[in-house]
Amino acid sequence: MAKYLLLKHYRGAPAAVNDVPMDRWTPEEVDAHVRYMQDWATRLEGTGEFVDGQALSVEGTWVRSDGEGRPPVTDGPFAETKDLVAGWMLIDVDSHERALEVAAELSAAPGAGGRPIHEWLELRPLLSMPATITE
Amino acid sequence: MDEALLRAVVPTVIGVLVRRGADFAAAEDAVQDALVEALRVWPDDPPRDPRAWLVAVAWRRFLDAVRADTSRRRRELVVEEEPAPEPGREEDDTLALYFLCAHPSLSPASAVALTLRAVGGLTTRQIARAHLVPEATMAQRISRAKRTVAGVRLDRPGDVATVLRVLYLVFNEGYTGDVDLAAEAIRLTRRLAAAVDDAEVSGLLALVLLHHARRPARTRPDGSLVPLAEQDRGLWDTRLVAEGVAVLQAALARDRLGEYQAQAAVAALHADARTAAETDWVQIVEWYDELVRLTGSPVARLNRAVAVGEADGPRAGLAALAGLDPALPRHTAAAAYLHERDGDLATAARLYAEAARSASTVPERDHLVRRAARLNAALRG
């Protein structure tokens, strides 16, 4: 089994095939999209492959330490940030092929006109925990 | 409460329910319920006969489930007089479960999960924690696995090689949760070895014992890896080494060589050396030759190339490595190591850094980064 992080991007991914911003969809199309995502997660729960998933706010803050005893320094959000993650799903699957398969299902979520978005998703394998035999 | 003792009776209790007419999936669910109940009440109120207690509670749970179900479909159950436990029969029941849970129709992950629950007697929560997934996810994985094997007859022996693969996978999952899966794999392999007369079962038992013996030396307290050559051999568990070597010798004497025996032989040669310098690399290369002959595995070829580097010098090792696919896991790390041994520190440092980028575990990545950093620091003088 291998765990993969599936990243949806607000920005930074190549353009989707059905590339219409969500605020131009009809409310029914938005509902259908949300339902599709929920069904996808439910299906993966049923197959014992779903670990977790969350959506992220668009607004974020950069933060760094400024030395002991000082408050953290913050900056941003930067409007020009090229890469912006919208949400993530963590899956635990048998193979890389299976990870691609479920990611492709998610990418086919319906968008404008009820047609699949075919958006690009980023698939990142997690570094696994130590195996017993690593010598 | 002795949890190991409790876990050991789980497969035999499943066997009792199946013989009374329950199908495997329902029997296994009922026994899991009884197991969770036992873990809850036994510490304060231990039963006189743990096995009889489990059978009684599991059977009651099973009947409750059937009654809840009868509105949908009626079942005829043959409830026999409770027969006295028959030792031979219980061994057969357990063995049948090993085969069922490692059935070839199951994916490796499903086989591992089902084996841990039905044969290992672990709770779903424990298995989920060990795999770092939610309990609900693991519960689904297990019930799906049970549906996959629903039509499989329990009284037919399967292929022992599939069982060994699953047990070795369990062993390699190590010890990330509160359950030590490596120790659990050893327990299950011991039990299998007691029930089946097979040189490769002994080979796997020897292999896991010998690897387990080195565990205390393999990581530092901070979790970082200690390569074999740098391990404090005084930390190796001599009792496990002695047992592993004895099991291996008995297996090899039967002249039915297989991949687990060959791997165990390599582990035994490492265990034999009092210092890294005393390692008999020539013999280790010979065992890797056997392993390559038996499996054709590219990983075995890669390990062989590293052993050749130790036996005949790093140039010979690099030559052996040259014929292999660079995309193999740890190929770059092996090349880095051989270049380092050969004195080409700049190339080694570059390759260690490259290997770190493709490492699949955190300790391995950190180890390779440290090697690269050390060489780069030395190069800067």
Taking the C-alpha atoms of residue B312 and residue B320, their distance in angstroms, rounded to an integer, is 11
- SS3 of B132, please? coil
Residue recorded with tokens 């796997």:
B204
Interface residue B216 vs chain A (CB under 8 A) = no
CB B305 within 8 A of CB B321: yes
Domains of chain A, earliest start first: 2-125 (3.30.70.1060)
Same domain, B214 and B346: no
What is the average per-residue pLDDT within B91-103?
91
Mean pLDDT of chain B: 91
Same domain, B131 and B42: yes
Please report whether residue B27 resides in a domain: yes
| Residue B85 pLDDT > 80 | no
Same domain, B140 and B27: yes
| Domain edge (last residue) among B175, B210, B226 | B175
Same domain, B164 and B81: yes
Interface residue B105 vs chain A (CB under 8 A) = no
Please report whether residue B23 resides in a domain: yes
Torsion of Cα atoms, A89 then A95 then A98 then A104, to 10°: 60
What is the average per-residue pLDDT within B93-99?
91
pLDDT tens by residue, B355-378? 999 888 888 888 999 999 999 999
Q: B65 CA to chain A: closest CA distance, Å?
A: 21
* C-alpha closest to that of B23 among B158, B163, B154: B154
| Domain edge (last residue) among B279, B306, B325 | B279
Percent of chain B with pLDDT over 70: 94
Same domain, B264 and B343: no
Q: Taking CB atoms and an 8 Å limit, are A47 and B182 in contact across chains?
A: no
| Residue B112 pLDDT > 60 | yes
Same domain, B71 and B214: no
Please report whether residue B53 resides in a domain: yes
Same domain, B143 and B225: no
- In chain A, which residue's Cα lies nearest the Cα of B141? A48
> Of B137, B171, B360, which has the smallest distance from its Cβ to A48's Cβ?
B137
Same domain, B156 and B85: yes
Same domain, B132 and B87: yes
Please report whether residue B125 resides in a domain: yes
ipTM of the complex: 0.75
Taking the C-alpha atoms of residue B351 and residue B176, their distance in angstroms, rounded to an integer, is 29
Same domain, B13 and B160: yes
Which of these ranges, B19-33, B61-75, B166-180, has the smallest mean pLDDT? Answer: B61-75
Structure tokens at B229: 């050559």
pLDDT tens by residue, B22-66? 999 999 999 999 999 999 999 999 899 999 999 999 999 999 998
Interface residue B176 vs chain A (CB under 8 A) = yes
Indicate the number of domains in chain B: 3
Please report whether residue B331 resides in a domain: no
**pLDDT recorded at residue A134:** 46
Which of these ranges, A57-71, B59-73, B258-272, has the smallest mean pLDDT? Answer: B59-73
**pLDDT recorded at residue B223:** 81
| pLDDT confidence band for A59 (50 / 70 / 90) | confident
Same domain, B7 and B132: yes
**pLDDT recorded at residue A89:** 95
**pLDDT recorded at residue B361:** 84
| Domain edge (last residue) among B229, B253, B279 | B279
* C-alpha closest to that of B214 among B169, B276, B165: B276
Collect all residues with Cβ–Cβ distance below 8 Å to A4 and sequence separation of at least 6. Answer: A90, A91, A92, A93, A99, A103, A123, A124, A125, A126
Mean pLDDT of chain A: 89
| pLDDT confidence band for B224 (50 / 70 / 90) | confident
Chain B contact set for A3 (CB, 8 A): 132
Q: Judging by DSSP bridges, how do beta strands A62-64 and A122-125 pair with one another?
A: unpaired
What is the average per-residue pLDDT within A92-107?
95
Percent of chain B with pLDDT over 90: 77
pLDDT tens by residue, B287-344? 999 999 999 999 999 999 999 999 999 999 999 999 999 999 899 999 999 999 999 9
Q: B28 CA to chain A: closest CA distance, Å?
A: 18
Range of the domain at B144: 1-175
CB B60 within 8 A of CB B51: no
Taking the C-alpha atoms of residue B107 and residue B113, their distance in angstroms, rounded to an integer, is 10
Interface residue B249 vs chain A (CB under 8 A) = no
Same domain, B170 and B201: no
Q: B308 CA to chain A: closest CA distance, Å?
A: 16
Please report whether residue B292 resides in a domain: no
Please report whether residue B220 resides in a domain: yes
